[in-house]
Structure 1
Amino acid sequence: MNLELLKQLRTSVVITGLLAGAMTVSACQPKQETEPSLEDSISEEQSVPMSAEPAEPSDVVVDAPASEVEDDTIASVNTGVNQITYLCSPELTVEATYKDTDNQVVIGTAKGTVTLTKTNDASNPEVFEAATAIDGGEGFVQWRVAHKERETGVMRTAGTDAANISTYECKKTAENAM
């Protein structure tokens, strides 16, 4: 054999060995994960963990008489109850708690509180009446409320002297306007 051929063979063996070593080392390296494309993410079904327990209801129902919750403006009462504050002329503040399912309204003022019953089927105006005065004594109270959102009301009240009727024109306060 020729010395020149031997050098070429030795160079080929060294280069082949280096290539084999490099391939062996690169084969042991961890492969980098490819990022999933947007299309892959969309077509993949998403698994959502579910609980065996039922969801808690979002409506809080308080089963208490209005007299117990009338001072608590944060209380949430059944959906058939709506509380509105009115400012009246002559000067009077009226807290009206409507119980639509019972066709009643509880009127609270500085003079007292009285429960009135709806006397008509109309929705504009709604007419509520009670055969007692606001202070619970002898007399009557009539509450007429108008508009879809019960924006205005008129209260007529009298004590033992039925000829001496007090009339109040009331408007829903801004804090109640929604």
Structure 2
Amino acid sequence: MSVEFLKNVRSSVVLTSLLAGALTISACQQQSEPESGMEDGVHAEETVPMSAEPAEHIAVVVDTADASLNEVEGDTTASVNSSVTQMSYLCTPELKVDATYKDDANQVVVATDMGTVTLNQTNEGSNPEVFEVATAIDGGQGFTQWRVGHEARDTGVMRTAGADESNVNTYECSKAS
């Protein structure tokens, strides 16, 4: 081997080493990604931030023109037609009252766990509206009286007694929400 040949090989090895080192260093450096074009955006999935707030309540309109009173669920407020309204009340001492107002007939049907009774309106006023019947809430001897206040019928008082009309039970009621 000649000295001239060894010098050429040595310079080739040094030059190759320098090129390999330059490629290695450039590969480790951060480079900005190229801007995505219109075609890249078509297939890319975008992330949309979610809100932690609940969705807006959507008012549901239900046509109840053909519904009978029995088809209306018991613990909701509903208007079957313009003259019948059903409302629920929670009372003190503990009692749940479901009242179905029949405005055309000036009546209210009051249903509790003690029984159900139909009461007739005894006054012309609207605040309070007074409804009475000469039977106890269980249908036996006695009386039941239902007084409901305010235009929206938000509060009511029920008085009922059995055969001993001197022993009157009074319940203060508020519209269930």
Establish whether TM, by shorter chain, passes 0.5: yes
Alignment-mate amino acid for residue 166 of structure 2? A
- Cα distance in 1 for partners of 2:143, 2:72 equals 22
- Cα distance in 1 for partners of 2:156, 2:97 equals 10
Unaligned runs of 5+ in 2: 1-61
Q: State whether structure 2 residue 106 is matched by structure 1 residue 86.
A: no
Instruction: Give the TM-score of the pair, scaled to structure 2.
Output: 0.59
Alignment-mate amino acid for residue 163 of structure 2? T
Alpha carbons 1:61, 1:76 under 8 Å: kept:
no
CA RMSD in angstroms, aligned pairs only: 2.1
CA deviation after TM superposition for structure 1 residue 70, in Å: 6.4
- Cα distance in 1 for partners of 2:136, 2:157 equals 15
Please, which of 76, 100, 121 is the counterpart of residue 97 of structure 1? 100
Alignment-mate amino acid for residue 147 of structure 1? H
Alpha carbons 1:62, 1:76 under 8 Å: kept:
no
SS in 2 for 1:162: coil
Structure 2 residue aligned with 1:107: 110
- Cα distance in 2 for partners of 1:159, 1:103 equals 24
Unaligned runs of 5+ in 1: 1-57
Cα gap change, 1:130 to 1:69, in 2 (>3 Å): farther
Cα gap change, 1:119 to 1:154, in 2 (>3 Å): same
- Cα distance in 1 for partners of 2:168, 2:133 equals 14
Instruction: Give the TM-score of the pair, scaled to structure 1.
Output: 0.59
CA deviation after TM superposition for structure 1 residue 63, in Å: 6.6
% same residue: 59
CA deviation after TM superposition for structure 1 residue 79, in Å: 1.9
